Amino acid sequence: MSEGKNLVGVDIGSSSIKLCEIKEGRGGKRTLSRFGYHPLPSQTIVDGHVINSGAVVEGLDKLFHKQKNRDVALRVSGHSVIIKKITMPLMTPAELREQINWEAEQHIPFDLAEVEMDWQILQQRQEQRQMDVLLVAAKKEEVNDLTNLAVEAKLKPKVIDLDAFTVQNTFEMGYGLPAMGTTVALLHVGASLTTLNILSQGTTAFTRDIANGGNTITEEIQRNLGISAEEAEAYKCGGDGRGLVPREVPDIVQQVVEQLAGEIQRSLDFYLATSGEGEVSKVYVSGGTANIRALIDAIEKRARVQAEVIDPLRVVSIDPKTVDPAIFQARAAQSPVALGLALRKDREKTQ
C-alpha cells in the first residue's frame, strides 16, 4: 500500500539522467507534469561506480532548477545488487525476520554488514508448508554514494529501488498483472547494462543482468569506422542530423544486436529449463536501445516470441503545458525506469 504524494523519479544512468514527475487526479488519472533529460559525459559512471560526481551533480542542478519538489526516488543496479528468489519453510513474518539473516548468508556473496537488505513474501504454499521469498540486497557503499550525490544537489532521497522493479512498476501500471499461467519477460536495455526480469504467476520469478547494452553498438561503430564516440552514437541513432549514415553501420548494428539477442535467448532458455514453467509469451522492451528496430527483430527471431517496446503513455497522459509531447515521445523508451520511480510515494506501507 502507498499513500502521500508521488516522489520525483530520478534515473541516473551511465550515459544520461532521466527525470519524471507525476500528478495523480481523481479516479486514479495520472498526468506526467515534468520530464527531464540530461546527457552525461563519457566515463562519468563506469561499471556502476560514479567516476565524475561533479558531472552528475551539475546535471541534477540543471534538471531541478527552480523546482520546489525535491523529494526523490532513486535506483541502483549492476553488480552491487543481488536479487534472489528463495524457498523457505512456511513461517510468520516475525519468524521470518529472525531467520532472514541466516538465510541471506547462504545466498548473498557479500558480508551482510556491507549491504542494505530487504525481502518480500511472494507466495505461500500451505500444502507443502513452504513459501517463496524475494530477497534483495544492495551494497551500502553504492547506496551511500548515490544518496550523497542527491544530497549534494540539494535533493531529498526518500526511496531507493532496483532497475528491474522500477520497470515492473511501470509495466504493471500500464498493462496490468500478467494473467495467471502467463509468463512475460521485461527487458531494459540501457547504455551499459541489460536487465531481465521474468514475471510468472503474477510475481518476479527470475532476474539477470547482462553486461551488454547500447554502448557496445556505439563502440563497435567507432572501432570499425575510426570515428569519435559522438559521431558513432549519432550514426547508431540514424544520423542525428549528421548527414547520410555510412553503409557499413547497419551491418555493424545487426552484428551486435544479434550477439545481445543470443545472450537474452540463453537467459530465457536457462529460466525455462530450471523453473519448470511454461513458455514466455511475450517480451516487453525498454531503454534507449529499444528504439533500434533491429534489436526487437533479433529478439523475436532468436527467442521465438513476440517483442514490443513498452508504451509509457499507457501509464500517464502528458500535460502539454509543462511537458513537450514531441520531446517526451523521442525519449519515451528511456523513460520507464524514471516513470516507475515516480510512481513511488513519500509514505509507503508494506504488507
pLDDT in tens, 22-40: 999 887 799 999 999 999 9
Q: Give the residue with greater pLDDT, 148 vs 178.
A: 148
Question: What pLDDT was estimated at residue 72?
Answer: 97
116 to 67, 135, 144, 210: CA distances (angstroms): 30, 11, 10, 23
CA distance 342 to 265: 31
Rg (C-alpha) for the chain, rounded Å, is: 20
Question: What pLDDT was estimated at residue 5?
Answer: 85
- How do 203-210 and 2-6 pair as beta strands? unpaired
Residue 14 — pLDDT band, cuts 50, 70, 90? confident
Residue 123 — pLDDT band, cuts 50, 70, 90? confident
CA distance 235 to 233: 5
| φ, ψ at 81 (rounded to 5°) | -115, 135
Inter-residue contact 322 to 30 (CB < 8 Å): no
- DSSP summary character for residue 178: P
Number of C-beta neighbours around residue 348 at 10 A: 13
Instruction: Give the closest residue to 187 by CA, choosing from 208, 205, 202.
Output: 208
The matching CATH number, chosen from 3.40.50.720, 3.30.1490.20, 3.40.920.10, 3.30.420.40, for 2-348 is 3.30.420.40
Question: What pLDDT was estimated at residue 350?
Answer: 45
240 to 18, 39, 78, 236, 272: CA distances (angstroms): 20, 15, 29, 9, 40
Kindly give, in sequence order, each residue whose CB lies less than 8 Å from that of residue 16, ignoring residues fewer than 6 positions away.
37, 38, 39, 40, 191, 334
Mean pLDDT confidence for 227-235: 89
pTM strictly above 0.75: yes
CA distance 109 to 284: 30
